[in-house]
Amino acid sequence: MSENRVAPGCPIARGVGTVGDAWSMLILRDAHVGATRFDQFRKNLGIAPTMLTKRLAALTQAGLLEKRLYSERPPREEYVLTPAGEDFLPVLLLFGAWARRHCGGDLARFIDETTGQEIQPVGVDAVSGARLGSRPIKLSGPENLA
């Protein structure tokens, strides 16, 4: 992709440029259900190690993951979610909820671990309280979309 000249002021374009590829999303998903180590990601995803190295580095660079030493001898590092990375969970949940509604098949459900209840993720406008998608929107700001 052109990466940077596509509507530079658009937050969606920016987000897509940062974590908008398939592997990054799946890595973040795994990170949210507990994976932290290179080989955990590699085995769960069946991703080529070259790709994984690249994606982990990109996510670390972007501030979603942080490299942390979990053993000095032997020196071993793991990748843990930063606050920005954790903040990405609602996006993944809404994304998954959308797929459950619209992509066929028998897909897994999200469960609240504290209550054991199924989660039904929805988007809401914190200002008006209205369900997102119920009203037309537009973008406003520094010279965005064409």
Partner DNA sequence: GCGAGATACTATCATTTCAGTAGTTAGTCA
Partner DNA sequence: TGACTAACTACTGAAATGATAGTATCTCGC
63 binds a second copy (CB under 8 A): yes
In the complex, minimum distance from the CB of residue 82 to DNA, in angstroms, rounded to a whole number: 16
Nearer Cβ to DNA, position 75 or 136?
75
Question: Per DSSP, what are the bridge partners of residue 131?
Answer: 124
CA-CA distance, 64 to 88, in Å (whole number)? 8
Q: Using CB distances below 5 to 8 A depending on partner kind, what does residue 4 bind out of a second copy, DNA, none?
A: none
The identity of residue 6, as a single letter, is V
Report 14-33 residues binding a second copy (CB under 8 A): 14-18, 20-23, 25-26, 29-30, 32-33
Report 83-102 residues binding a second copy (CB under 8 A): 84, 86-102
79 binds a second copy (CB under 8 A): no
52 binds a second copy (CB under 8 A): no
Radius of gyration over alpha carbons of the chain, in Å? 18
DSSP string, 13-29: HHHHHHH-SHHHHHHHH
Q: What are phi and psi of 50, to 5 degrees?
A: -60, -45
